[in-house]
Amino acid sequence: MRALQQDTPHQPAVVREIPTPQPAAGEVLVKLRAAALNHRDVWIQKGQYAGIKLPCTLGADGSGEVAALGAGVEGWAVGAPVILYPGLEWGDSQQAQGRSFRVLGMPDPGTFAEYLALPARCLRPKPAHLSWEQAAALPLAGLTAYRAAFVRAQVQPGERVLVTGVGGGVAQIAAQLCAARGAQVWVTSGDEEKITRALALPLGLRGGISYKQANWGRTLTQSTGGFDVIIDSAGGEAFGALLDIAAPGGRIVFYGATLGNIPQLPPAKVFWKQLSILGSSMGSEQDFDAMLALVNEQQLVPIVDKVFPLAEGEAALRYLEAGQQLGKVVLTC
């Protein structure tokens, strides 16, 4: 089979022929139809991810069909369309992942391949209203967004929610999920064009603003009254502005730090406004099931920006790294 593999950091990913895996007891072999990229794949490629073990087939997100069943597997039939839970061994606690938890695509083989063998418990029925590419765009981003919004921040209907960095896949799905649950959602971006494009998409947004605009926080606060929940992935110096635009009693949840460490966190702004600052990450299998239930109930469709064939996987990685996408970048396998 063909697979997109990373041999060493700082080198292009290479499509090559490798042996097709065989499902062990309790595993299922999936014929992948589509796989979505995440910035994690770029960070691994650049040597900027913890615990890198290479070579490895990249990719955490995938959709496809059951191709073969390992010994003891029940409840699945060959040909069944599936979507993949993008992690292994979350652990027994819903509060946080256990020490053995890991995301597909390093160190374990990932989804940028024609076939993948993985535990049967990682499979779920593919939402019938989604194409292969749309389904592949959902798992990691949708799961991360769902946990941040509903497990950690406990977003409620009618609340005002701000999602930062709407160009990112997690941010878009977070906005979409929150709006589907009845929240009032605004977004930010450093790119005015992305704001315009996002507002034109079926995400259910109330508005958006560029954080490069002078006094953007004050403008947004004056028009909204402040935010009950802020969902952020950037951290860095910009995090301080989020304290100002959070409403009293608000919750700020962040699932990444693309702008680096937070240099200052004035305690008075946090305790006087009774703010909660929450960390989040990709979620559990239970979170995954809840996210899929919401997607199916509301017939939500992830935004796919561009589709590449597996043979052009390296070009897809460079496209994602350039940051011009609005939606997920997907490979067809």
Report pLDDT digits (tens) over 89-105.
999 999 999 999 999 99
Does domain 2-138+302-332 sit in CATH 1.10.357.10?
Answer: no
Q: Would the pLDDT of 236 be above 80?
A: no
| pLDDT for the residue 216 | 92
| pLDDT for the residue 258 | 77
Q: Which H or E run includes 66?
A: strand 63-69
Please provide the average confidence, as pLDDT, over all residues in the chain. Answer: 95
Confidence of residue 80 (pLDDT cuts 50, 70, 90): very high
DSSP 104-143: SSSSS--SSBSEEEEEGGGEEEPPTTS-HHHHHTSHHHHH
Buried b (16+ CB within 10 A) or exposed e, 109-132: bbbbbbbbbbbbebbbebbeebbb
Q: Which of 65-79, 106-120, 211-225 has the lowest mean pLDDT?
A: 211-225
CATH top class, domain 142-279:
alpha beta
Delimit the domains of the chain by residue range.
2-138+302-332, 142-279
Q: Would the pLDDT of 260 be above 90?
A: no
Instruction: For residues 200 and 202, give the distance between their C-alpha atoms in angstroms, rounded to a whole number.
Output: 7
The predicted-structure confidence for 292-309, as pLDDT tens digits, reads as follows 999 999 999 999 999 999
Rounded to the nearest 5°, which phi and psi values hold at 241? Answer: -65, -30
Topology agreement, domain 2-138+302-332 and domain 142-279: yes
Q: Would the pLDDT of 139 be above 80?
A: yes
Q: In this structure, what token pair is assigned to residue 320?
A: 């994602």
Q: Would the pLDDT of 323 be above 90?
A: no
Q: In this structure, what token pair is assigned to residue 330?
A: 């997907």
